[in-house]
């Protein structure tokens, strides 16, 4: 489908700090360049991640700071952490409510999240937390956030009125569902800057740049872009 032109705000809902930067960093940069206001809702603080010897009790705070710095590289100023435990995310009614709260507060026309399905060609992108967040975010987009009688406390206690999201973008969807290619050749440097801000996750990768460029080239090639271009790809779902 063709993305809508009347998008003013986009909410990105991810499981871990760095998910958006790996999966959609170049795309988010192109959105903020186009004047779209983008906010992040990160369900965990990545407290089970990290490759250095940072004490575990400091990991969540460190990764939150890294995600905020990465967001700044892409022109995103608002980052909310929901505080769910890393590695143990389920699409619970509580998570659906917490994502619905962010949707009703920010009122985005577009939501970007992880696919709830498994992409068998690249199973690493289909981490169980990613799929759980994708399923909860889909339920928050439809029907929870738009139904004033869902999670009634959001309206009754917090004054958050129902809000209808029209467009859902999914990262790491199965190949056969990918239908929206974004050329990130012009924004890949900022994607790399955002990824480097996640020092605890990428600091040990000497080949980060070549990995990201190769991945972008292969994606572009698979979707018949001109040779030499770089791309990210999504499944886009229109919601009435
Ligand atoms: Zn992740």
What is the pLDDT at residue 149? 97
Please give the average per-residue pLDDT across 4-19, as a whole number: 92
The answer, yes or no, to whether the previous bond of 84 is cis (omega within 30 of 0) is: no
CA of 131 to the centre of ligand 1 (A): 10
Token pair, residue 81, equals 């952490």
CA of 15 to the centre of ligand 1 (A): 6
What is the pLDDT at residue 189? 98
Whole-prediction pTM: 0.96
pLDDT, tens only, 36-62: 999 999 999 999 887 777 788 899 999
CA of 18 to the centre of ligand 1 (A): 7
pLDDT, tens only, 89-122: 999 999 999 999 999 999 999 999 999 999 999 8
Answer yes or no: are the C-beta atoms of 162 and 147 closer than 8 Å: yes
CA of 112 to the centre of ligand 1 (A): 14
CA of 82 to the centre of ligand 1 (A): 15
CA of 179 to the centre of ligand 1 (A): 22
Mean pLDDT score across all residues of the chain: 95
CA of 21 to the centre of ligand 1 (A): 10
What is the pLDDT at residue 53? 77
Is the pLDDT assigned to residue 3 strictly greater than 70?
A: no
CA of 102 to the centre of ligand 1 (A): 20
| Long-range Cβ pairs for the range 174-178 (8 Å, 24+) | 174/115, 174/117, 174/118, 174/119, 174/120, 175/119, 175/121, 177/115, 177/117, 177/235, 178/223, 178/233, 178/234, 178/235
Confidence class of residue 4 from pLDDT cuts 50, 70 and 90? Answer: low
CA of 238 to the centre of ligand 1 (A): 25
Please give the average per-residue pLDDT across 17-37, as a whole number: 98
């Amino acid at each position: 489908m063709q993305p809508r032109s009347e998008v003013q705000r986009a909410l990105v809902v991810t499981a871990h700090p760095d998910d958006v930067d790996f999966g959609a960093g170049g795309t988010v940069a192109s959105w903020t360049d186009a004047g779209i206001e983008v906010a992040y809702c990160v369900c965990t603080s990545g407290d089970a991640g990290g490759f250095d010897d940072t004490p575990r009790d400091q990991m969540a705070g460190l990764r939150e700071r890294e995600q905020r710095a990465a967001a700044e590289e892409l022109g995103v100023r608002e980052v909310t952490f929901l505080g769910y435990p890393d590695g143990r995310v389920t699409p619970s009614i509580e998570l659906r409510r917490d994502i619905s709260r962010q949707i009703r507060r920010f009122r985005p026309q577009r939501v970007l999240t992880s696919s709830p399905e498994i992409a068998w060609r690249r199973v690493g992108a289909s981490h169980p937390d990613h799929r759980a967040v994708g399923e909860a975010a889909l339920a928050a987009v439809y029907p929870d956030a738009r139904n004033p009688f869902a999670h009634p406390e959001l309206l009754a206690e917090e004054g958050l009125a129902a809000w209808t999201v029209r467009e859902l973008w999914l990262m790491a969807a199965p190949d056969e569902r990918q239908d929206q290619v974004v050329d990130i050749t012009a924004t890949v440097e900022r994607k790399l800057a955002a990824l480097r801000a996640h020092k605890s996750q990428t600091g040990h990768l000497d080949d980060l740049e070549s990995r990201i460029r190769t991945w972008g080239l292969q994606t572009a090639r698979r979707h018949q872009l001109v040779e030499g271009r770089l791309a990210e790809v999504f499944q886009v779902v229109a919601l009435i």
